[in-house]
Amino acid sequence: EKDEMEDHLRENLEIPKNIKLVCRRVDLFDPSELEKLAIDSARVVIISPTDDNRVTKMLLAVSNIITSSENTKARVSAILSSDQYRFPKSIAEKHNVTTLQTNDTLAKIIAHSCTQSGLSKVFTEIFNFEGSELYLNQIKGINGITFEELMYRLERAVPIGIYRDHKIEMNPPADTVLQESDKILVFSEERYSAYMAGEGTKLPEDYPMRPIKPERDTQTIIFGYNKTLKTVLRELPENVLKVTLVNYPGGDT
């Protein structure tokens, strides 16, 4: 029930004072029911993970409501596990839809972390949100400098993207010139801990960092098979010269 739902959330979440929490129970596939949620005036709509078929139906329903209204700034985010339900770029842009393909993303993470020493610790640090988190901040003094300069001048945070014109660009080109109105996506311990070092800060001699060339060639063994195998094989580093597939449908290779 609605009251139980709200009580449960308040008991388990630290809700900021400036956030008003409202719970609704609706049929997610009924357009007339969805209208109760004021989707046409929302800035962000997040569809929680469930099976891909249900997520796709909800995406279409929500997107149609937004498109039929005058709300052009709303963004819809959802998680899909399979590439089978990937939205064409033209439709995604028209409906402001951003989807995360979990199977494809995890396959890439596995391929890189199992062959590059220490990378698994980096992924763990980023995704477990212990100590540091991702924040979108306005940072003074960035007007006119490049993203490369921001990388070595920003203290107590790591910049990883730019929010501009209602869009986030991850890992933008090093020569991207920043504007004072830009918001920077940073990875830091505290939300407002990032600040710019002085203009006299010199670029380190060994900057930018270059990929470390593997010391030796190696081989990889992959047990089992699923649809992400092609992604794993495509993402393996160049120093992996031999791959052994175990229990592959076509026989061991």
Contact (Cβ atoms closer than 8 angstroms) between residue 222 and residue 167: no
Between 44 and 122, the more confident residue is 44
pLDDT at 210 > cutoff 70:
no
pLDDT at 101 > cutoff 80:
no
49 preceded by a cis bond (ω within 30 of 0)? no
Q: What was the pLDDT predicted at 81? A: 75
Q: What was the pLDDT predicted at 177? A: 94
Q: What was the pLDDT predicted at 87? A: 65
Q: What was the pLDDT predicted at 213? A: 57
pLDDT tens column, 54-68: 888 888 888 778 777
Q: What was the pLDDT predicted at 159? A: 92
Strands in the chain per DSSP E: 44-47, 75-80, 97-101, 133-138, 154-155, 158-164, 167-170, 183-188, 195-196, 218-223, 240-246
Residue 193 binned pLDDT confidence (cut-offs 50, 70, 90): confident
Most confident option among 38-42, 99-103, 148-152, 204-208: 148-152
Alpha-helix residue ranges (DSSP H) falling in the chain: 2-12, 31-34, 52-68, 89-94, 102-113, 119-127, 147-153, 229-235
Residue 179 binned pLDDT confidence (cut-offs 50, 70, 90): very high
CA-based angle 175:177:181, to the nearest 5? 150
pTM (global) more than 0.85? no
* Averaged pLDDT for residues 188-202: 74
* Averaged pLDDT for residues 202-221: 61
Residue 97 binned pLDDT confidence (cut-offs 50, 70, 90): confident
Q: Which residues, other chains included, contact 195 with Cβ-Cβ below 8 Å and sequence gap of 6+?
A: 139, 140, 154, 155, 156
* Averaged pLDDT for residues 26-47: 83
Burial bucket for residue 215 (CB in 10 Å: 0-12, 13-18, 19+): exposed
* Averaged pLDDT for residues 18-36: 83
Q: What was the pLDDT predicted at 55? A: 82
| Residue 24 Cα distances to 5, 43, 75, 113, 194, angstroms | 9, 18, 20, 41, 38
11-15, 173-177, 211-215: range with lowest mean pLDDT: 211-215
| Residue 81 Cα distances to 22, 54, 87, 129, angstroms | 29, 12, 13, 22
Q: What was the pLDDT predicted at 75? A: 81
